[in-house]
Amino acid sequence: MNEDMMTEAERASKLAEPAANDTPTRGKGVFYVHTLGCQMNVHDSERIAGVLEADGYVPATEEQYLNHDIDLIVMNTCAVRENAAERMYGTIGLWAELKRERPNLQIAVGGCMAQLDREKIAKKAPWVDAVFGTKNIGSLPQLLDQARIEGHAQVKVQEELNYFPSQLPTDRASKVSSWVAISVGCNNTCTFCIVPTTRGKEHDRRPGDILAEIRQCVDEGAKEVTLLGQNVNSYGRGLDEDVDFAELLRKVNAIPGDFRIRFMTSHPKDASCKLFDTIASHNKICNQFHLPFQSGNDRVLKAMNRHYTREEYLKLAHYGREIMPDLVLTSDVIVGFPGESDEDFEQTLDIVRRVGYIQAFSFKYSKRPGTPAALMPEQVEEKIKRQRLDILQELLSGMQLKFNRECLGKTMPVLFEYKGRRAGQLVGRTPYMQNIHVEIGKEFLNQIVDIKVTEAATSSLSGACTTLNNKAS
């Protein structure tokens, strides 16, 4: 999963609307959740907020947040890249000063870094009150209560998943765009990835529970539902029901209501022509497919333990485009993996050119302790990784701008989710995940509206309203 694909709105933690009366309650305490990481982390933060509210805590308003009028700060951490620990300790270090000003302030650290560095966090940052892992979000209120009683950090990190996180209460950051987890954990063993260590083995959620949650989201006004999993394509293999991911998509598409469907993230080794056929034949599923290829060289792919070749990947992409001419592909790419030569890197660039991604999120290889790749010989120099990343990103930016310009004059259904920086401006997303800025009345917020694209830049579009669209894309 990719944090760089997320909009600022998605990354931002939810702040409550100001109370209608003059005497807002603080309940058990006013809290703020600070989220680092991918879409799964954002969804976990919604669960954290739900658990806290169920226990009597109250989410902070924007004014309370800006004035530091907060009783509890929760950091939900990420461990995907090398600088994750630096980012975490840097941020909670700033909060130490805030705690000196407000001695009763509680600080909790959860998520993937907490799963990895549980005891280290408590020792290195003694002002932290609670440390909890990815599999025990529901324990947070109890840990905070115990910390008040005992006066020192409470640490609880479970290795085994005892309940599916969706059983927990949730406070969704958006009522119009909903995350719905279909699985947690991952059974793949990519040599560069720490996720299986932090999230554990894949556990699939029963289809009936997934569909019930989506129906509830749609009933509550959701216009877009994103199915989440570390590898959605492997869904169903751990169930005693005869259902795979393509079949699940068909069942979701059959739910009544005007909403569109997205999913992430996919692994190419488990993608199939059947999945592309399903997307092509069901009207609510967006024709945008995030399919990480990581490297264009077969030897590097084998060292990554990805279980597909460049030709197999290209064959999949070609099939998707053949049956869906309007299909757009996005991806993840790693440069500078151990042993990657200049020739290997050129093959990666070749994949990018041949597929023509509208977006691809690119990274320098990041050594993560405990992963096989961290011990591999022929580690690529940082200078070379930086040079390759610059070349790749220039190519990708040109492709993104080209695609955005090709959208000029086209009319697209846009889901408006938040206000823009200028008065009278709303910001929405096209079916292709492009951000678009439009001067339009606030009454269209949380609606799908037909918008004609009038301007195109590399990272965003501008447009003008045509007519309200009540159909899913």
H helices of 234-305, in order, are 245-253, 273-281, 298-304
Three-state secondary structure call for residue 378? coil
- Summarised one tens digit per residue, pLDDT across range 349-405 is 999 999 999 999 899 999 988 899 999 999 999 999 999 999 999 999 999 999 999
The answer to whether the pTM exceeds 0.75 is yes
Instruction: Give residue 457's pLDDT.
Output: 96
Instruction: Give residue 281's pLDDT.
Output: 96
Least confident residue range of 84-93, 122-131, 186-195, 265-274:
84-93
Cis peptide before 265 (omega within 30 of 0): yes
Distance (Å, rounded) from C-alpha 438 to C-alpha 428?
Answer: 8
Find all residues with CB under 8 Å of 242, minimum gap 6, and list them: none
Confidence of residue 17 (pLDDT cuts 50, 70, 90): low
Cis peptide before 411 (omega within 30 of 0): no
Question: How much is the CA Rg of the chain, to the nearest whole Å?
Answer: 22
| Residue 147 or 197, more confident | 147
Instruction: Give residue 3's pLDDT.
Output: 44
Distance (Å, rounded) from C-alpha 158 to C-alpha 134?
Answer: 8
Three-state secondary structure call for residue 34? strand
The domains located in the chain, with CATH, are 3-156 (3.40.50.12160), 165-406 (3.80.30.20), 411-468 (2.40.50.140)
- Summarised one tens digit per residue, pLDDT across range 425-473 is 999 999 999 999 999 988 999 999 999 999 999 999 999 997 644 433 3
Tokens coding 186:
């991952």
First CA to last CA across the chain, in angstroms?
Answer: 24
Sign, Cα dihedral of 182, 188, 194, 198: positive
Bridge-based pairing state of the strands 183-184 and 448-456: unpaired
**For residue 254, pLDDT beyond 60:** yes
Residue from 333, 344, 353, 331 nearest 380 by CA: 344
Least confident residue range of 50-54, 169-173, 183-187, 298-302:
169-173
Distance (Å, rounded) from C-alpha 88 to C-alpha 56?
Answer: 27
Distance (Å, rounded) from C-alpha 123 to C-alpha 100?
Answer: 18
Residue from 358, 346, 269 nearest 313 by CA: 269
Q: What is the mean pLDDT of the chain?
A: 89
H helices of 254-378, in order, are 273-281, 298-304, 310-323, 342-355
Confidence of residue 86 (pLDDT cuts 50, 70, 90): confident
- Summarised one tens digit per residue, pLDDT across range 122-152 is 888 889 999 998 888 999 999 999 999 998 8
In this structure, which long-range contacts are made by residues 318-321, counting pairs with CB atoms below 8 Å and at least 24 apart in sequence? 319/273, 319/276, 320/276, 320/279, 320/289
**For residue 11, pLDDT beyond 70:** no
* Residue 457, amino acid: A
